């Protein structure tokens, strides 16, 4: 039985940190088994990398993507192992959409973990390290950000665009490093409260990712996709899809299209969602979701105590 008013959401890049999930790994066999499965699929010890590697290595997108997908799937499996019920709807932020589709049964886990490593490689090689950047813009009207970036890109010196609509007043821009720097200065001058570079290694969700999208389409042609058992709201258009071929198309489009996270959360609220569980490391999405709709109750699963508290809270809310 699904939890009728509950959504599970899955984080994207930026939630990774050395040492994450240590307590969950010690506590839950499902977490340990999931990391073992991922390590076998990729041919290296992922758990050792997370616990003992360097943060700089973890931040490289070809590493970050399989690590975060594995972390989210591990916590989902731990949730089920502990008797948790499935939600009424799912969504994931960028990479997290792949995590959501694995947990909804649309993608096989081993296929997905290999696929997102390729996705990361394609995204990284589309723009050499150092030539692309992303920055979070806080406290400025969304349309003003779109317009200022379009003006800078229109000068022909480099691409920059609004690419993640994370919550009202929080938008991420991306593009060529020089143009992002120019945009940061212009957006501060226009009244942004904060404009800060993000610890990512490529300008995701811009037209600069089109070559990565073409390569991802080729890789995805080899992957089986099923209709999801739980509706998954997609970043590109804030709707759920059942047709596997349409899901395949959207996952390719997503790589070079803006992430409409505000719209995704609003779509979940329109479905009657009041409880949102962040299934992955950190609480980035919980913070965004509260800014999008203050009526939402947020829960997390990263720590065993939090997972048990969420089980109890949702049993009471059902």
Active-site amino acid positions: 94, 205
Strand, coil or helix: 11: coil
- Cα four-point dihedral sign 241, 5, 282, 140: positive
Considering just the CA atoms, what is the radius of gyration of the chain in Å? 19
Q: Which residues of 161-197 are buried (b: 16+ CB within 10 A; e: fewer)?
A: bbbbbbbeebbbbbbbbebbbbbbebbeebebeebee
Residue 275 bridge partners (DSSP)? 6, 297
Strand, coil or helix: 109: helix
Return d(Cα 258, Cα 282) in angstroms, integer.
22
Contact 140, 162 (CB under 8 A): no
Beta-sheet strands, E only, within the chain: 3-10, 87-92, 132-138, 160-167, 170-176, 194-197, 232-233, 275-278, 297-300
Contact 275, 252 (CB under 8 A): no
């Amino acid at each position: 039985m699904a939890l009728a008013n509950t959504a599970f959401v899955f984080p994207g890049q930026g939630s990774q940190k050395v040492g994450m999930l240590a307590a969950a790994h010690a506590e839950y066999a499902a977490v340990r088994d999931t990391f073992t499965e991922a390590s076998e699929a990729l041919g290296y010890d992922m758990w050792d990398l997370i616990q003992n590697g360097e943060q700089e290595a973890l931040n490289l997108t070809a590493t970050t993507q399989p690590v975060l997908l594995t972390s989210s799937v591990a916590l989902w499996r731990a949730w089920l192992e502990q008797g948790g019920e499935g939600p009424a709807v799912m969504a994931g932020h960028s990479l997290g959409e792949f995590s959501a589709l694995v947990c909804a049964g649309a993608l096989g886990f081993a296929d997905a973990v290999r696929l997102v490593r390729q996705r990361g490689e394609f995204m990284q090689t589309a723009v050499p390290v150092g030539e692309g950047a992303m920055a979070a813009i806080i406290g400025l009207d969304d349309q003003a950000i779109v317009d200022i970036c379009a003006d800078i890109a229109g000068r022909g010196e480099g691409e920059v665009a609004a690419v993640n609509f994370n919550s009202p007043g929080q938008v991420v821009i991306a593009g060529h490093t020089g143009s992002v720097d120019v945009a940061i200065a212009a957006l501060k001058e226009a009244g942004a409260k904060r404009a800060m570079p993000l610890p990512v290694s490529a300008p995701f969700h811009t037209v600069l990712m089109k070559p990565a999208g073409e390569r991802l389409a080729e890789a995805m042609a080899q992957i089986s996709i099923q209709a999801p058992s739980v509706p998954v709201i997609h970043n590109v258009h804030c709707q759920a899809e059942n047709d596997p071929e349409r899901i395949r198309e959207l996952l390719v489009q997503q790589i070079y299209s803006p992430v409409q996270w505000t719209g995704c959360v609003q779509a979940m609220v329109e479905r009657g969602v009041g409880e949102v569980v962040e299934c992955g490391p950190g609480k980035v999405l919980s913070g965004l979701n509260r800014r999008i709709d203050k009526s939402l109750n947020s829960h997390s699963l990263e720590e065993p105590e939090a997972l048990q508290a969420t089980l109890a809270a949702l049993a009471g809310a059902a």
